[in-house]
């Protein structure tokens, strides 16, 4: 059961991590996005400022909506509204630099990127 998501954003040398626990998570470059991406990192033909919307249903996150004007992939394949987000999924916009690695437990995941494990620190270090 997912109570939240750890989302790692990588764009070239820029990397950061967000922990989100909302029922609905909007990702994009609009002011109303819960996880904001730089406008300069996304293609100019983005239509509404929300690249992706994830909704928690029945204990897991699912794709609620995505910008259909862009070629957005999950694990290098097309996906649809209602598809479940699973531990280790990678979301990319074809033709742009950033990618999102989505993890429910980043330190237990075998698909956790090495740079996350290498830079992980506990709260008391």
What residue segments make up the domains of the chain, in order of their start? 5-107
Under the banding of pLDDT at 50, 70 and 90, the label for residue 62 is very high
Count the helices and strands in the chain (H runs, E runs): 1, 9
- In angstroms, the CA 9 to CA 38 distance is 11
Is the distance from CB of 83 to CB of 63 less than 8 angstroms?
yes
CATH architecture classification, 5-107: Sandwich (2.60)
What's residue 67's pLDDT? Answer: 87
Across 6-10, 17-21, 104-108, least confident range: 104-108
16 three-state secondary structure: strand
Q: What tokens does 48 get?
A: 């509404």
What predicted TM-score, i.e. pTM, was given to this entire model? 0.78
Closest listed residue to residue 43, CA positions, set 71, 16, 15: 71
Q: Between these two residues, 112 and 48, which has the higher pLDDT value? A: 48
* Phi, psi angle pair for 96, to nearest 5°: -130, 165
Where on the phi/psi map is residue 113: left (φ > 0), alpha (ψ -120 to 50), or beta? Answer: beta
**Mean pLDDT across 52-67:** 91
What's residue 50's pLDDT? Answer: 82
């Amino acid at each position: 059961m997912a109570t939240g998501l750890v989302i790692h954003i990588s764009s070239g040398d820029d990397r950061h991590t967000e922990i989100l626990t909302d029922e609905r998570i909007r990702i994009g470059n609009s002011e109303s996005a819960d996880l904001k991406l730089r406008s300069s990192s996304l293609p100019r033909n983005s239509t509404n400022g929300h690249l992706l919307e994830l909704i928690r249903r029945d204990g897991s996150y699912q794709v609620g909506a995505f910008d259909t004007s862009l070629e957005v992939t999950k694990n290098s394949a097309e996906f649809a509204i209602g598809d479940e987000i699973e531990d280790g999924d990678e979301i990319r916009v074809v033709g742009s630099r950033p990618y999102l690695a989505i993890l429910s437990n980043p330190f237990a995941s075998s698909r956790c990127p090495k740079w996350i494990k290498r830079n992980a620190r506990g709260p008391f270090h």
